[in-house]
Amino acid sequence: MFRKILIANRGEIACRVITTARRLGIATVAVYSEADAGARHTRLADEAWPIGPAPARQSYLAGEKILEVARRSGAEAIHPGYGFLSENADFAAACAQAGIVFIGPPEAAIRAMGSKAESKALMERSGVPLVPGHHGEAQDMALLRAEAARIGYPVLIKASAGGGGKGMRVVESAGGLDEAIEGAKREALASFGDDRLLIEKYLTRPRHIEIQIFADTQGNTVSLFERDCSIQRRHQKVIEEAPAPGMDPARRQAMGEAAVAAARAVGYVGAGTVEFIAEGDGFYFMEMNTRLQVEHPVTEMVTGLDLVEWQLRVACGEALPVAEERLGIRGHAIEARVYAEDPARDFLPAVGRLAHLRQPAEVPGRVRVDTGVLEGDSITPNYDPMIAKLIVWGEDRAAAVRQLSAALAEYEVVGLTTNLGLLRAIAGNAAFAAAELDTGFIGRHAAELMPAEDAADPAIWAAAALTVVHDQRAAIEEAARATGDPYSPWAAVDAWRMNGDGYQDLRFRQGDAAVTLRTHPLPDGSFHLDLPGGRVQAAMLDDRLSLDGVSRRVRVVRRGEDLTVVMGGRNYTLTVEDPLAPPRSEAAGSDRVTAPVPGRVTRVLVKPGDRVAKNAPLVVIEAMKTEFTLRAPLEGTVETIRHQVEEMVEEGTELVTFAAAG
């Protein structure tokens, strides 16, 4: 076994690899960018080496720098995690050249599976079923048009070199094809330096089912069964589970054999995933990911294996630790990806500081939290917006779903927008409980899954009011200590009045609603609160709020006048109104074109003087694996372009100014 390895990644996956290495007695070397000094992965590793500025191209994608750290630190092998250099054949080759083991498949296997089109051609020859489509070399428009017509609409255009959903476009009918092809080519060229496309039949109600495979250098290749990853948004995974609901042994065996055949066809070694799209009884090869997958923990939970340990053993030349016949599935596991993003705004990635973070308690074998962040860390536009993964296990699917709901209710994240509300809604959804899974699930159930924040639960107001009163008390006590007379009547903090009923009014806003609460201190330290629903006796101790004797867990995080009440895994934001504060300035007018997130300008589609229609695309910015197209808010003439391609812009920066028509 290796004595020391380098982990060429960040975030949760770097931490996850370090955990296994440590268990096996292997020393670990982390690398970090300037944005990650002090990040969790740098603290967990035995050594942490700086590799450059925040942008990935200058740090986590800078293979030469990473190899140099490996040489200087004496690491014998490099684990690339997922993303970044994990599917970069040139990097795998450079490792071999430097005499350092790349913990992944051989260079040739990465290359063979690197292009969606070429890998499909290869699979076709190996007898693995494919979705009807065109994946040939020929790319001229006339041919693509003819192919799309032959396949039959709707069709899906993909970048051959693609990944992460980039360059993917659904085309409903022939009329939309030319524009979609041009757009996809542009995006593919910008993202991958390669504008070749493929076209597939777009299945309308498919499931994403993938097979985890493993191969060693001695010629053994096994299937570690399937994962269902059908709960997606933007064609990217949000919730994954194993086993796939409704999978019968015959189909499991057929898919496993197809996946093993795919791996053998490219001389595969190590961990890999063969992704299929399934509809009805059919299943079709989509692509192979030649790395450890984000959702590998659900396979670990149901097989009892540690896939990173297998990767390390195979990379050292050992045979697979368990033979095919002895592998089995126990119970059911579900993973939920916690993202910094706003489901209500088309899943726009969010950035910000994790002002408060409390994650569910881990229960060995049942609840696992894979995370790379600490309270106080920031989610920045430099890397992808995943905060953590919650993985749960139960004896059967119903038990796992229950466990998922319970663990999600323990999550407390304050400081940025997350998809936790959506995850909770899915976990509690009847169609999800009934395993009615397909890739359109989130879209179809959007109305139920994204309910408006419900306003006035008296507990929210009560928790906020008690927090403000407690804060005032602490401030006054502090002031009294500072003036040296804690017994001064002016330091009395309980609103007690000589003539009886002392009280204090507090005014809160929550969205459009406003409420004034009267608080009366009681001798035992609790309060009477006059809430919209009537009077209650309330007390708050640490993270428990008691109303008329019934207590529950609640957390209030206060930043200035803003309070976030976290209850049952949901966040409620309120503002306490200071009667002396100046009125807040109104939000910027809607006729401005501003960056919704910090990011990099990747395309400017107009020039000064252009007349544009309402909703015409103006500028494209990229942040966190996602492209955002900014459109004209109204018809008009472009006056100035404030930022050019490659410039980094802050959130809220005005990008284009123009004069309204007429």
Task: Write out the residues near ligand ADP by the rule CB under 6 A.
Answer: 56, 82-84, 131, 156, 158, 162-165, 200-203, 206, 208, 232, 235-237, 275, 277, 286-287, 289, 293-295, 383-384, 386, 439, 625
Instruction: Determine how many CB atoms are found less than 10 A away from the CB of residue 260.
Output: 20
State which residue, 275 or 384, has the beta carbon closest to Mg ion: 275
Closest CB 200 distance from ligand ADP, rounded Å: 4
Q: Is 320 helix (H, G, I), strand (E, B) or coil?
A: coil
Q: Which of 16, 207, 227, 291 is catalytic?
A: 291
Question: Measured between alpha carbons, how far is 375 from 353 in angstroms, rounded to an integer?
Answer: 8
Residue 202 or residue 461: which is nearer to ligand ADP going by CB? 202
What count of other Cβ atoms lies within 10 Å of the Cβ of residue 176?
A: 15
DSSP 161-195: T--TTTT-EEE-SGGGHHHHHHHHHHHHHHHHS--
DSSP run (H or E) holding 462: helix 458-483
Report the partner that residue 131 touches, choosing among Mg ion, ligand ADP, none (CB closer than 5 to 8 A by kind). ligand ADP
Q: Write the single-letter amino acid at 190.
A: A
- The partner in contact with residue 136, picked from ligand ADP, Mg ion, none with C-beta cut-offs of 5 to 8 angstroms by kind, is none
The answer to whether 655 and 639 have CB atoms below 8 angstroms apart is no
Best CA proximity match to 85, nearest among 236, 271, 290, 238: 290
Phi and psi, residue 392, nearest 5° = -125, 155
Nearer to Mg ion, 55 or 385 (CB): 385
Q: Which one of ligand ADP, Mg ion, none interacts with residue 310, CB within 5 to 8 A by kind?
A: none
Q: Which long-range contacts (CB under 8 A, 24 or more apart) does 471-477 make?
A: 471/558
> By beta-carbon distance, which residue lies closest to ligand ADP?
83
For ligand ADP, the closer CB: 286 or 413: 286
CB of 323 to ligand ADP, least distance (A): 26
Beta strands in 365-512 (DSSP E): 367-371, 378-379, 386-394, 412-414, 504-510
Measured CA to CA, the distance from residue 395 to residue 499 in angstroms comes to 63
User: Which CB atom, from 158 or from 368, has the smaller least distance to Mg ion?
Assistant: 158
**Cα atoms in the Cβ-side hemisphere of radius 13 Å centred on 53:** 3
Taking the complex as a whole, how short is the minimal distance between the CB of residue 348 and ligand ADP, in angstroms? Answer: 17
Contact (CB, 8 A) for 133 and 201: yes
Torsion sign across C-alpha atoms 436, 437, 438, 443: positive
* Closest residue to Mg ion using C-beta atoms: 275
Q: Which is nearer to ligand ADP, 13 or 529 (CB)?
A: 13
Residue 337 partner contact from Mg ion, ligand ADP, none using kind-dependent CB cut-offs of 5 to 8 Å: none
Q: Which is nearer to ligand ADP, 446 or 539 (CB)?
A: 446
| Residue 177 CB neighbour total at 10 angstroms | 21
How near is the Cβ of 50 to ligand ADP at its closest, in Å? 18
> How far apart are CB 84 and Mg ion at their closest, in Å?
16
Least Å distance between CB 504 and ligand ADP? 49
Out of Mg ion, ligand ADP, none, what residue 195 binds, judged by CB under 5 to 8 A for its kind, is none
Closest listed residue to residue 54, CA positions, set 342, 378, 302: 378
Q: Shortest gap between Cβ of 202 and Mg ion (angstroms)?
A: 15
Minimum CB distance to ligand ADP smaller for 211 or for 593 = 211
With respect to ligand ADP, which residue has the nearer C-beta, 129 or 568? 129
Backbone angles phi, psi at 440, to 5 degrees: -90, 10
On whether the CB atoms of residues 280 and 204 are closer than 8 A, the answer is no
CB of 153 to ligand ADP, least distance (A): 12
What number of other Cβ atoms are within 10 A of residue 89's Cβ? 20
Residue with smaller CB distance to Mg ion, 165 or 245: 165
SS (H, E, C) 489-557: HHHCCCCCECCECCCEEEEEEECCEEEEEEEEECCCCCEEEEECCEEEEEEEECCEEEECCEEEECEEE
Q: Please, what is the minimum distance in Å from the beta carbon of residue 276 to ligand ADP?
A: 9
Helices 177-192, 141-151: crossing angle, 10 deg rounding: 110
Q: What's 38-106 look like in SS3?
A: CCHHHHHCCEEEEEECCCHHHCCCCHHHHHHHHHHHCCCEEECCCCCCCCCHHHHHHHHHCCCEECCCC
> For 432, which DSSP code?
H
Q: Quick one: DSSP state of residue 428? A: T
Give the other-Cβ count within 10 Å of 388's Cβ. Answer: 21
Q: Which is nearer to ligand ADP, 236 or 637 (CB)?
A: 236
Smallest distance from Mg ion to CB 259, Å: 14
Compute the distance between CA of residue 229 and CA of residue 355 in angstroms, rounded to an integer.
31
**Is position 186 annotated as part of the catalytic site?**
no
The residue type at 212: Q
351 binds, among ligand ADP, Mg ion, none (CB under 5 to 8 A by kind): none
Please, which of residues 259-298 interact with Mg ion by CB under 5 A? 275
- What does 203 bind: Mg ion, ligand ADP, none (CB cut-off 5 to 8 Å by kind)? ligand ADP
CB 210, min distance to Mg ion, A: 8
Interface with Mg ion: number of residues (CB under 5 A):
1
The catalytic site residues sit at 291
Contact footprint for Mg ion (CB under 5 A): 275
